[in-house]
Amino acid sequence: MPPPKKLDLIPEELRRWLAEELRDRGFSDIVSVTDALNDRIAAEGLEIRVGKSAVGDFSKALKDQREAFALADQLLSDLDIEREGELHRVLMQMIATSAVHMIDHVRKEDGHLEPKDLMSLGRMLKDLMASSGMREKLLSDERERVAREAREAQQAELADKLEQGVARGTINGDAARAAREIMGFG
């Protein structure tokens, strides 16, 4: 078993500081960030010295993670959630069709399917189905949010109209309170 990475041995607050420092410096200036980290480690009284390559690897991982989140955010903001759900369904059908063709080909050729290939296919299908389920949940949640916001906007509009009616004197204040109570928006 390989020894733990030195960055895993430093306190969590120093790792957080390192991540923030790297982000602030645009994931560059690794040498001075490493020196600053080692100074902080020494100030904590720890007997660990972290190398530039470890900080560089950590910096690259953080940068890659930030780029992945930015890409995911961009994709989700660009893609309509319903369209994305449809894309998952089509992809699932394509994979299922490919699986059938692969199994059919194996039957015709030598009748043997490698367990590793079958396991990979099964894992891919399972992951895609789980992903599709999450997309459907997102779609459902989005529909609920839109409907709730529409209800709240309509209630606010009706409440405003009641207030305007009371202010103009076209509706009695008690009647307006009773109407709010009946409509369920207090």
Q: In terms of residues, how long is the chain?
A: 186
Q: Is residue 59 part of a domain?
A: yes
Q: Tell me: the pLDDT tens digits for 151-160? A: 888 888 888 8
Q: Is residue 36 part of a domain?
A: yes
- Return the number of other C-beta atoms located less than 10 Å from residue 162's C-beta: 19
Range of the domain at 32: 1-78
As a whole number of angstroms, the distance between CA 183 and CA 167 comes to: 20
Q: Is residue 145 part of a domain?
A: no
DSSP helix/strand/coil, 180: helix
Q: Is residue 167 part of a domain?
A: no
Answer yes or no: are the C-beta atoms of 124 and 74 closer than 8 Å.
no
Q: So what's the pLDDT on residue 33?
A: 93
Q: So what's the pLDDT on residue 169?
A: 87
Q: Tell me: the pLDDT tens digits for 83-116? A: 666 666 666 677 777 776 676 666 666 666 677 7
Q: So what's the pLDDT on residue 28?
A: 86
- Report the domain count for the chain: 1
Residues in the chain predicted with pLDDT less than 50, given as ranges, are none
